[in-house]
């Protein structure tokens, strides 16, 4: 059988999880790794608080703005020359 936390430590992890504390805070307060705390909370049927602000929806996927800029249509070379000549005049 693998290592098991003592009952006092288990109760601390579950109590903090019920209060809605994020895993990083549970780790800081109890000394139990986030992964371990997450497993104990999952076994107790408690949703572990993840990253981000509570109550807000999921964030945007990374790189959305970058993709939209790269996919923007580019000016034709003739149009670029026209605008460059107009700017000089």
pLDDT digits (tens, 9 = 90+) for 35-51: 999 999 999 999 876 66
- What is the pLDDT of the chain when averaged over all its residues? 76
32: left (phi over 0), alpha (psi -120 to 50) or beta: beta
pLDDT at residue 16, as a whole number: 93
pLDDT at residue 42, as a whole number: 92
Structure tokens at 81: 């020359």
Indicate if the pLDDT at residue 58 is higher than 80: no
Cβ atoms of 26 and 10 closer than 8 Å: no
Could you give the 3-state DSSP secondary structure of residue 26? helix
pLDDT at residue 78, as a whole number: 65
For the domain made up of 1-51, give the CATH fold: Arc Repressor Mutant, subunit A (1.10.10)
Indicate if the pLDDT at residue 89 is higher than 80: no
Inter-axis angle of helices 7-18 and 34-43, nearest 10: 80
């Amino acid at each position: 059988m693998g290592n098991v936390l003592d009952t006092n430590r288990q109760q601390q992890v579950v109590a903090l999880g019920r209060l809605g504390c994020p895993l990083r805070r549970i780790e800081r307060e109890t000394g139990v790794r986030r992964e371990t705390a997450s497993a104990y909370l999952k076994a107790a049927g408690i949703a572990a608080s993840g990253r981000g602000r509570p109550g807000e929806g999921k964030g945007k996927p990374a790189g959305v703005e970058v993709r939209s800029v790269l996919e923007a249509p580019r000016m034709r070379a003739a149009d670029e020359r026209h605008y460059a000549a107009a700017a000089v005049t």
